[in-house]
Structure 1
Amino acid sequence: MPWDTEATRRKLLDAATAQFARVGLAGARVDSIAREAGVNKERIYQYFGDKSGLFAAVLATEVEHLLEGISVAGNGASALGHVAGALHDRVAMRPHLARLLAWESLELSEPVSAESRAEGCAAMVTALADALPHHDRAHAGELLLSLISLVLADRCLPHVTALVAPGSTTSSRRAAVVAQARALAATGS
């Protein structure tokens, strides 16, 4: 029976995603990832080069398309609220995204897939600038950065969330993020 390279890569990426989200690049262990995937650790070196290459592959797979498919619907404050809600839903369904982004920033000197990720962000900034007529492109970029920060905050800082808003739930947090996004869009400066 031929070796299913794609299935093996997927098993390794899934196991590595879970481990890198938990402990980051420095804390992850190749032996543990391979064991969790049920694959010989030599396949990691064959497919990804080394642990850093595997981390880069996980980041490229998981975070490169963070904004992909999220559309700007409507105009004004409701448009930014719509984006906030959609992004919150994506991160709520894939909570490892926030931790992977945090580990990337803590452990790498440059972002993975920077060019394609920058293109995705630029497209979203353009769409937001078009939907928010009282905001120029630079301000739309600042709004998007604030929005991403709002959405990721409780996932990256769960202890702070528990201390500041101990009753926070996924739905209450979503409502708060959407309301805050609308308020940010309403400010024209």
Structure 2
Amino acid sequence: MLIGYARVSTSGQTLETQIDKLEAAGVEKIFKEKKSGARADAREQLNAMLDYVREGDVVVITKMDRMARSMRDLLNLVAQLDEKGVGLKVLDQAIDTTTPEGKMTYQILGVVSEFELAIRKQRIDDGVARLREQGIEPFKGRPPKIKKEEVEKAIEETGSKAAAAKKLGISRDSVYRVLRQAA
């Protein structure tokens, strides 16, 4: 039996394209979810699919990153499938672990994907280090649009924080945040 697994990371994304491809490949049952792929244990439908599959089944996905976010995760998942006698087909990368060639291709592409992730992480780390050398904190957020003095003056003029917020065109939460951060 062909068993499909489709996943998108956020609720704003759609599963339609993946489902269309899986159905076109002849998949009979599809497990689908909208969850981040960062942690395999948090993906209920992935775990349900792993429990569901039986010897002789083939799990079909559209891309490797739909099932796993790291090479270690992918290797662990494929090992679980292998132990059950279940194959894996990846449609967009033409991988089929039910053949020796497909197994080799899967392993090579997995290593390349892991390498790309490591290179991307290194570039980000280098950029963050460069910014910090220049005295810029990259994860600080944008600077406030309004100064504490302006908020205090508006409170003094209007007599309340709510009225000051209205006068300044900001929320009451912003008034409290500005006063708290600058204290």
Q: Do the two structures share a fold, i.e. TM-score over 0.5? A: no
The structure richer in strand per residue is 2
User: TM-score normalised to the size of structure 2?
Assistant: 0.24
Q: Which has the larger radius of gyration?
A: 2
User: TM-score normalised to the size of structure 1?
Assistant: 0.23
